[in-house]
Structure formats: structure tokens, C-alpha cells
Structure 1
Amino acid sequence: MPTEELARRWWVRGRRIASVERAGKFIDDVGFALLFPAPKPIGPSLWEAVAGEDDEPFGEGMGENEQRVWTWKDELPRRGLAWYGAYLGGRGSFLSPTLLAALYPGEGELDDHEHLDLSPAAHELAAALAIEPLSSATLRQLLGDKNKYQRAIGELQRNLLVTTAGVQESSNGWPAALLTLTCEQFDVGGTQDHSAAAAQYLDTMLTASAADLARAFRWSTPKARDLLDDLTHSGRATFDGRTYQPLTPR
């Protein structure tokens, strides 16, 4: 459970989110959010901003709030309001377009994947998506193995190369996520700014260690510490010998 200060920062207190547009504003404000909360708080979650901190997701099946956030995980990226994929802690996560641009590792080109150290399966999926958006079912068929697909798509999402872009109806009645290259859905490439990303992380978490930041964005701890120290030296953060805090917390 987040502290009172974090609960306000993470939109857990106050008016609940009831529209996809307001969900987009929430993610734009916090910069990053999980779809559902993690056992140990590692960031805000869309679920808690929608349902509050006392409701457990799927406690009584697919209710109204569950239906909302499950639909919005595909609708937010389709509208360009937030990137979605398995990112923070390997969990379903949203990134604001601004934070995404600061973290994106390529030049915003269809062949960005070719310049990264990825598995052959991940390269194969990225090359297929460079031609057109495809459903998760189609991509699984392309690789011919569900586990191989899960590893490859997870790899692409960890590197922010792929996101969802709505859903596609399937013959079995269950819609499949439609996937596309991030650079086709968002304005990214050539704007990487890890200092700005570190500042956003600190602004959202209110207090964090270098190890916390490193785990969140998959950086080395020395790199995370250097970035946080730079924020401290420039007067944008403080350090108490253990953790960092934004100089003017919300």
C-alpha cells in the first residue's frame, strides 16, 4: 500500500478515473504505470487510479472496472495516449509518450531492431511487423511455438520496440491484441534523454535509490547513480546518503 503522499501522487486519492481520456492524462502525469498493482509497490497502477487501493482486481470476476482497464490497455496505445507492453518488472506497463521518447533506444526507423542484440525470433517478429501490424495470434503462428513467441515478444517489449495498437477479432470469439512497431505508433527516435527519464522516475516515486531506478529502466546501478547525482548537483534533487528525492516534490 502506498504512503499517503504517494497515494496522492499516484492518483489513488480523489476522483476516480472513468474515461480513457482521463486515463491518458493520468499516465501523462505520472509518466509510467502498471496495468495492475504489483505485490511490492514499484510504481503507480492504472487499476488503483480507477478502482482505489482497497479493491482487488478480478476478486469477483470481470466487473466494470476490470473491463475498463482491460479495454484501455489496447485503446490507450491505439489512440497514441500511452505506450503499452511488458516493461516495468516484466509486468504490463504504460509509458507516457514523453517518457517513451526519452527511453526509446533507436532512431525511429523500421529497422531499429537490427541495431540491437536480440534473438533471431525477436528479429523475425520485428521484421514482420515492419510490413504491417499483426495480431498476436498471427505472430504466434509465424514462429510456430507459443513459448518461443512469448519470449520473443517480451524481448521486443523490454526494448520498447513493439506496442499494442487495438485488437483484432478472431474466429474463436476472443479478440487478439494487434501489435505494431512503436515507431509506427508514436513519435520516437533520436530523442533519447536518460537524464529526463531519471527525473520523471524520481518525480513519480518521490524517493528512490539508484538500485530502484536501475531496476525500473534496466540500467546498471552505476549509471542510475550517476544520473541521480547529476540531478542532485544541478539542484533538481536531494540525497540523504541513502535515497534521492525530487527537490520540489508534489
Structure 2
Amino acid sequence: MKPRRPVKIKTFEQAYEFVLQVKTCLIFGSKTSDLPCLWDAVDLPGRQPGQKGWGQKVEAVWAWKNELPAQFPDEIFYGKLPGGLAMLMCVDYLRRVHYPAQHRPVSTCSPLARRALELIRSEPHTTAELRKALSPSGAITKSKVDGALVELQVTLNITRSNAPKLKRDTWLPFTEQYPDIGGEA
């Protein structure tokens, strides 16, 4: 049997097909996961010596992680896996396999995560807005707030808004964006 040819993604359309084919992929690689990785599959040049910016590969992967779920919200989901690994997943796989296996009631989450979800339920918030609202005096560290947001993503209680024009991560209750998947958050 011949070894599989490595995927060589150069376009947004090819990235879309890749996610649908593999069902779940990491955005960037990880030594702790055997899942396929969008970063490894993209065949675009990195930053060249003397070039400003990130280079074509980083710019493409960074944009596609947001654009794929924004343009195909009924087909592609962006979220976090246990361990906080960023991933893209087919919505059908999310519905049938991932949500039943990974969703946890918010009551099982940390107090800080529960407070964050209360704010998000009242209205969508960006990460920066949540950091400020949860710790107006700065007593709670940025990393603790970010950890609470990861916890809510991993347990499928919140998700990033797929609204195409948003420039910053804006958080919604999972069931608001995916009302046909799961129950009450």
C-alpha cells in the first residue's frame, strides 16, 4: 500500500474541503495530539528574510480559522479541545460525536467560568471586555480569565461568534449560535 500523499493546501476552498474531509483538525500542531493539522497541510511560503508581516502561511491559517466558520456556519465549527487546543470541526461531527462526549453543564465549571457565562448570557462580550468586567481592579490575572474562557469553550458552554465582520473574538452562549445542538448551557 502506498503512503498517503501529503495534502498541499494553497487556497481557502482547499482548506474548506480539508476540514470537511478530516472532520476535526487542529489549527496549529501539537505534540500531544495525533489529529491532522491545518498548519501542516498548508503549502504557502512563510515570512521571507526582509519581508514585513507574518508571511503568507501564517496570514492564511490565521484568517481561515475565522473565515471558514463565518462563511460556512452550518458546516464548520471553531472551538477548543480538552487541553485548550484550537480546532476546526465539521458541524455534523460536532452534533453527533463531539458535543455528546464533551459538553458539561456550567454548574461543573469553576466559579470564574460561571461568572463569565453570566456576563455572556446577558450580551456578547469580547475577551478584553470580559477581562475588565471580571476583574475591574486587575486582581484576577489575564491568564485566569483566559483559562475560564477556555474551560467554557472546551465544555461547549460558549463559542466564538461567527459574525463575519467581527475583528475581535466575541463570545456567545453555545446554544445561541447552535440552538439545534445540545440543551441548555
TM over 0.5: yes
Aligned-pair CA distance for 1:23: 2.4
Aligned in 2, Cα 1:42/1:159: closer, same or farther, shift over 3 Å?
same
Q: Secondary structure at the match of 1:160?
A: coil
| CA RMSD between the two structures | 3.1
Aligned equivalents of 1:49, 1:99: Cα separation in 2: 21
Partner-residue secondary structure (3-state), 2:42: helix
Q: Take 1:137 and 1:168, find their aligned partners in 2: how far apart are those partners? A: 18
1:120 aligns with 2:115: no
1:155 partnered with 2:151: yes
- Residue 82 (structure 1) aligned to one of 76, 82, 85: 76
Count of aligned pairs: 168
Superposed, 1:194-233 pairs within 5 Å as none
Checking the alignment, whether the CA contact within 8 Å between 1:33 and 1:95 is kept in structure 2 is yes
Contact 1:50-1:65 within 8 A present in 2 as well: yes
| Residue 137, structure 1, aligned to residue 125, structure 2 | no
82, 95, 100: which one aligns with 2:89: 95
Q: 1:63 matched to which residue of 2?
A: 55
- Long gaps (5+) in structure 2: none
Counterpart residue number, 1:29: 21
TM-score normalised per structure 1 = 0.57
- How far off its partner does 1:160 sit? 2.1
Equivalence for 1:179: 171
Tell me the distance in 2 between the aligned counterparts of 1:35 and 1:91. 8
When Rg is computed on C-alpha atoms for both structures, the one with the higher figure is: 1
Q: Which runs of 5+ in 1 are unaligned?
A: 170-174, 191-250
How many Å separate the matches in 2 of 1:149 and 1:185?
22
Task: Give 4+ residue runs of structure 1 displaced > 4 Å after superposition.
Answer: 57-61, 166-169
- Taking structure 1 as reference, are residues 91 and 117 closer, same or farther at Cα in structure 2, changes over 3 Å only? same
Q: Is the 8 A contact 2:131 2:145 kept in 1?
A: yes
Q: Which residue of 2 aligns with 1:18?
A: 11
Q: Deviations over 1:77-129 (max 9, x none)?
A: 333142223315432111210121122249x9xxx844x41111111222222
**Does the Cα contact within 8 Å between 1:77 and 1:83 map onto a contact in 2?**
yes
| Residue pair 1:31, 1:99 contacting (<8 A) in 2 also | yes
TM-score normalised by structure 2 residue count: 0.74
- 1:25/1:131 CA distance change after superposition, 3 Å: farther
The 3 A distance-change label for structure 1 pair 30 and 151 is: same
